[in-house]
A and B are shown apart, each in its own frame.
Chain A
Amino acid sequence: MPVFRSRAIAVSMAAALSIALGGSALAQKKYDTGATDTEIKIGNIMPYSGPASSYGVIGKTETAYFNMINDQGGINGRKINFISYDDGYSPPKAVEQVRKLVESDEVLFVFNSLGTPSNTAFQKYLNGKKIPQLFVATGASKWNDPKNFPWTMGWQPSYQVEAKIYAKYLMKEKPDARIAVLYQNDDFGKDYQKGFREGFGDKASMIVTEESYEVSEPTIDSHIVKMKSQNPDVVVSFVTPKFAAQTIKKIAELGWKPLQFVTNVSVSVGAVMQPAGFAAAQGVLSADYRKDGADAQWKNDEGMKKWSTFLDKYMPGVDRSDNSLIYGYGVAQTMVKVLEMCGDDLTRANVMKQATSLKDFTPDTLLPGIQISTSATDYAPIKQLRMMRFKGETWDLFGDIIAVEPNTN
């Protein structure tokens, strides 16, 4: 039993008392604050407003998914009460909201809170209180740190893992490449850039130039012109969707034909490839772990059929090419799986224990062959990706699933 303070003690004492009085029938059920016979309270932080508000769709998808689970009878008879607050992507606001979740709403744990700065801001607080911070929605590599932060866990492949996969691919397929790297000057871009360099090891001299830009710049055309002057034949863009579209477009306008990579954050056909122009985007490479909601090749896929039925009923009218819908569905499904595994032992310690005991779990919306496995020393649920190439108006997957061992901090 973890130790709690003030009200939490009162509540858990009350819970313990009611169990004792309830007699033997209830004896196997164990609860912490936030879980009862009828309800599991889950907290969440999302940027519904502010500069990253496009990710708010993830929170909406999760809300809809848990509504569906509740309509189907809940998990082991318990309904999910999903409380999601807006932090506007501001760390001080995130701290305020997460404290509200824990101390006022009294949630069992925090699930899929979005953004590296926000999660960093309250990681210490949640770990100090021994409250799980599960499947955080950021690709930073630092969440895989069971030694120092045993209550925090990521979900998606980390940026560094992805960057290393590109490095691995390039060293094998194009060992004489002259590589230009374009990255966003923040935690996101720098994590990629670092992983990419590490991936090359002593062959880092293949990288001939590294250009960085600020997210507030309206256009990055000048950076691309500057990179071209170094005469590289591979351009790797560790950039967010808007800039990925600009990069692909500008490179085509210059009549330049390098081999291009974009990150899987920027693979949306609707948000990146179409605005860049399909003609300009031919042959661009990336890697992914999710299926594409707008791609016809998954039309008869069992998992995607379920996803599609879910959208029809719970989120009618959404734009299906938005891969936040795929992401939100997959991560919510993983969460439900963990809660099912918990059975009637809904203590925070057991939630964490089950989250670290996932074995070859495959959510409906992930690519065939990608499996989620965790252990007490492995806090990186997804660490596999498959390479893909843009062809026509869709992504063509090719090659085998590539796995990289993530760094532990």
Chain B
Amino acid sequence: MSTVQEVVTEAPVIEDAIPKKAMALGPVASLVILALLIATPLFVKNFIIFQMTMWLIYAIAVLALNILTGASGQFSLGQSAFYALGAYTSAILMEHGDINYVLTLPVAGLICFIAGFLFGLPALRLSGIYLALATFALATAMPQLLKLGVFEHWTGGVQGLVVTKPDAPAILASLGLKVSQDMWLYYFTLAVSILIYIFSVNLLRSRSGRAMMAIRDNEIAASAMGVDVSLYKTLAFGVSAGITGVAGGLGAIAVQFVAPDGYTIQLAVALFLGMVVGGVGWLPGSLAGAAFIVFVPNIAESVSKGLSGAVFGVILILIIFLVPHGARQIAYGAQGLIGKLRRN
């Protein structure tokens, strides 16, 4: 029991240090990052663009987890299950239903929202590490469910499903712009990410967002103030799952392939890692967290092929020791530094 209490009492302590409004970046910093995200692909190879696309996609998934854990205070190790559900929804609609890839994303989001909301209902009875375990079960079950013979006609069973990569719309070519498939997909993903980011920031600033944060900080106090605890908790689950589903759909389109082995518990752990490294409850940190899970394994591999896992672990431990609040801490440090310089 003591561990649970620790988790519960520790969480608000971390949050105390950060003002509630500061879940997003300031306008200047946002615009600089946006400009960089728009301009970079014009100067790099298609392969790097592909990596950047994956980075954005994982950033969306990390952001979704951040809404759940950072805002409503619920743990989840099962995000890979919703990611897989979104990926398969998009893939199946595109390959079997011949539906345009753009339209498959809202469907993926909606299906995952419903799935997340429904899963949120029984999860209401659990909290802290018990909830984490229940979602863990979801993540382990998912790859096996995808292999079931009953669905094999649609899912392709263990062999997975190959997805056709979309071309840039013809209108761009007629305007004289040569946009490769990768570049188009990147900008498409970027547009979706921006939409989701704006939606999330506004959600957290709204009445619902405040209600979620009130539940995170003190459930009893929140319900005393008239917040419908169970509704907002399940809603947080639904929204988080829905956004993860959209990320999954984008992932399927970018990788051009879905298979059960791509959505194991390792993905869920990676997303959780991304959230912690980016800073729990700080939405822009999702970008930093996703960069960590996409690029650091490559760095680790280039250091030592045989010991890549160990190198990755060492980097992770260093980060947890030096900056326990992740990228948020660095950003705040930098902000403080700039403030000091200005005053001088």
Contact = CB atoms under 8 A, between A and B. Distances in A.
Most chain A CB atoms below 10 A, which of B50, B257, B297: B257
A90 B47 contact: no
B157 interface: yes
A125 interface: yes
B255 interface: yes
Contacts of A48: 301, 305-306, 308
A100 B301 contact: no
A305 interface: no
B159 interface: yes
Contacts, number: 87
A7 to B, nearest CB: 7
B256 interface: yes
Contacts of A99: 46-47, 50
Contact of A100 (B47, B144, B159): B47
Given A48-B306, A50-B266, A89 B45 contact: no
B54 interface: yes
A50 B264 CA distance: 11
B165 to A, nearest CB: 9
Contacts of A122: 257
B257 A216 contact: no
Contacts of A86: 301, 305, 308
Contact of A103 (B45, B157, B308): B45
Q: Pick the most buried of A102, A116, A117, A122: most chain B CB atoms within 10 A of its CB.
A: A117
Interface in B153-195: 157-160, 162, 180
Contacts of B50: 96, 99
B261 A90 contact: yes
Interface stretch (A182-190, A254-262, A356-364, A389-397): A182-190
A103 B47 contact: yes
Contact of A104 (B47, B144, B257): B47
B150 to A, nearest CB: 13
B203 to A, nearest CB: 28
Q: Which 8 A-B pairs have the closest CB atoms?
A: A103-B47, A121-B257, A187-B158, A91-B262, A117-B259, A117-B261, A92-B255, A186-B158
Interface of B: 45-48, 50-51, 54, 140, 144, 147, 157-160, 162, 180, 251, 255-257, 259, 261-262, 264, 266, 297, 301, 305-306, 308-309
Given A84-B305, A99-B47, 7 more contacts: A6-B46, A91-B261, A96-B54, A99-B46, A103-B46, A121-B262, A185-B144
